[in-house]
Amino acid sequence: MDFNIAVVKGDGIGPEIVDEAIKVLNCVGEKFGHTFNYKEVLAGGCSIDVNGVPLTQETIDICKNADSVLLGAVGGPKWDNVDSTLRPEKALLGLRSELGLFANIRPAMMYEALADACPIKKEIIGDGFDLVVCRELTGDVYFGKHYRKESENGYGIMGCDDMNYSTYEVERIARRAFEMARVRSKKVTSVDKANVLETSRVWRETVTKVAKDYPDVELDYMYVDNAAMQLVRNPGQFDVIVTGNLFGDILSDEASMITGSIGMLPSASLNEGGRGMYEPIHGSAPDIAGKNIANPIATILSAAMMLKYSFNLTDEANVIEKAVNDVLNDGCRTADIALKGEDVLSTSQMGDKICEKIKLG
Ligand code: IPM
Ligand code: MG
Average pLDDT estimate for 287-309: 97
Distance 307 CA to ligand 1 centre (A): 23
Cα–Cα distance for residue pair 320/308, rounded to 1 Å? 11
* pLDDT of 206 above 90: yes
* pLDDT of 17 above 90: yes
Give me the half-sphere count of Cα atoms (radius 13 Å) on the Cβ side of residue 182: 12
pLDDT of the residue at 93: 95
Residue 68's pLDDT band (boundaries 50, 70, 90)? very high
Share of residues in the chain with pLDDT > 70 (%):
100
Residue 122's pLDDT band (boundaries 50, 70, 90)? confident
Average pLDDT estimate for 321-338: 96
Give me the half-sphere count of Cα atoms (radius 13 Å) on the Cβ side of residue 193: 16
pLDDT of the residue at 45: 97
Ligand 1 pocket, residue 281 CB under 6 Å: yes
Q: What is the pLDDT of residues 43-53, one digit of tens each?
A: 999 999 999 99
Ligand 1 pocket, residue 101 CB under 6 Å: no
The count of residues in the chain is 361
Distance 252 CA to ligand 2 centre (A): 7
Taking the whole predicted model, whether its pTM rises above 0.85 is answered as: yes
* pLDDT of 345 above 90: yes
Residue 334's pLDDT band (boundaries 50, 70, 90)? very high
Q: Helix-strand-coil percent breakdown of the chain, rounded to 5? A: 50, 20, 30
The secondary structure of 145-168 as a DSSP string is: -EEEEE-TTS--EEEEE-----HH
* pLDDT of 274 above 90: no
pLDDT of the residue at 306: 98
Mutational pocket test of ligand 1: of 13, 249, 254, the residue with most ligand atoms within 8 Å of the beta carbon: 249
Ligand 1 pocket, residue 5 CB under 6 Å: no
pLDDT of the residue at 121: 87
Set out the domains of the chain in order of their start, with CATH numbers.
1-102+273-361 (3.40.718.10), 119-258 (3.40.718.10)
Closest to 242 in 3D by CA, of 168, 111, 137, 144? 137
pLDDT of the residue at 342: 92
pLDDT of the residue at 244: 98
Residue 101 φ then ψ, to 5°: -85, 80
Residue 118's pLDDT band (boundaries 50, 70, 90)? confident
pLDDT of the residue at 33: 97
pLDDT of the residue at 32: 97
The residue nearest atom 8 of ligand 1, judged by CA position, is 249
